[in-house]
Amino acid sequence: MKRPFPLAVAQLGPIHLADTREAVVRRLLEMLREAASRGAEFVVFPELALTTFFPRWWMTSQDEIDRFFERSMPNAATQPLFDEARRLRIGFYLGYAELTPEGERFNTAVMVDREGAIVGRYRKVHLPGHSEHKPAAPFQHLEKRYFQVGDEGFKVWDTMGTRMGMCICNDRRWPETFRVMSLQSAEVVVLGYNTPSVNIHWPEPPHLRMFHHLLLLQAHAHENALWVGAAAKCGAEDGFHMIAGSAIVSPTGEIAAQSSTEEDEVIFVNCDLALGDTFRKFVFNFAQHRRPEHYRLIVERTGAGDPLPG
């Protein structure tokens, strides 16, 4: 029996330093309305969807850095998005830089239900890049400098008639991210990303950025029997290019929809959650085929490394 979950991914083109949050929210509203017109009940927006990818810039003044952070959510700039989503009865994922009342700073995403209520929050765990200035590099990647490591783990929430989890960008490169959520019976994982096309550490062939991005989404979706929705912020922000490749991936591991531009673009799939049931029952059946005691036996008998180290 089909279990429909109409999902849209709203890809954002560049956000430049000079762009205001209000201008960006107008773009998000336009895509929210398009998604609703195509029957979506949930929309995925990108990581850090309200500002340019500011970790590319070396900054020393905390006041200057904090201009990119939100002190509350929703707030004056984003309230129109929450209001319109509630009117359209659409839930959404929104990534942004969070500055807490206690002065903590996270790369955060919220999950908002169809009543416009924040039902879940995720703070990015895998912070890539570096914390010191690399003056010789063409751009910086200072997430380790501007954010703290997320302190709430990978959770799964019962909402929108399914069990849905969240992650952010670099998290998608680590198998633990999706496995921890599928062990909590997630059926859907949604994420946003800002992925530079150029590697500042070695002359990586450009095609590998997109190849690895899609490979990881497809592999982690399939091996965890998940629908995965991934929204890019992409194109050249003040001249610094980031890949697109927004996609909705099925539990089969196949790409069900993919963006074809590097601009604001909505993709949509009427996902059938029952597809995941099949793989959870006959292939990735943790209770039947993935027994923790099997791993313990291996470690006891052979002294091999713990399969789940750390």
Which residues does the annotation mark as catalytic?
A: 47, 124, 169
Select the residue whose beta carbon is closest to ligand ING and give its number: 170
Residue nearer to ligand ING on the CB measure, 125 or 164 = 125
State the maximum Cα–Cα separation within the chain, in Å, rounded to a whole number.
Answer: 61
- Least distance to ligand ING, CB of residue 6, Å: 27
- Nearest approach, Cβ of residue 82 and ligand ING (Å): 25
Nearer to ligand ING by Cβ, of 160 and 242: the residue is 242
**Minimum distance of ligand ING from residue 26's CB (angstroms):** 24
Q: For ligand ING, give the closer residue by CB, 154 or 193.
A: 193
Closest separation in Å from C-beta 113 to ligand ING = 26
Give whichever of 177 and 224 is closer to ligand ING, judged by the CB atom. 177
Per CB under 6 A, residues contacting ligand ING are: 128, 169-170, 173, 193-195
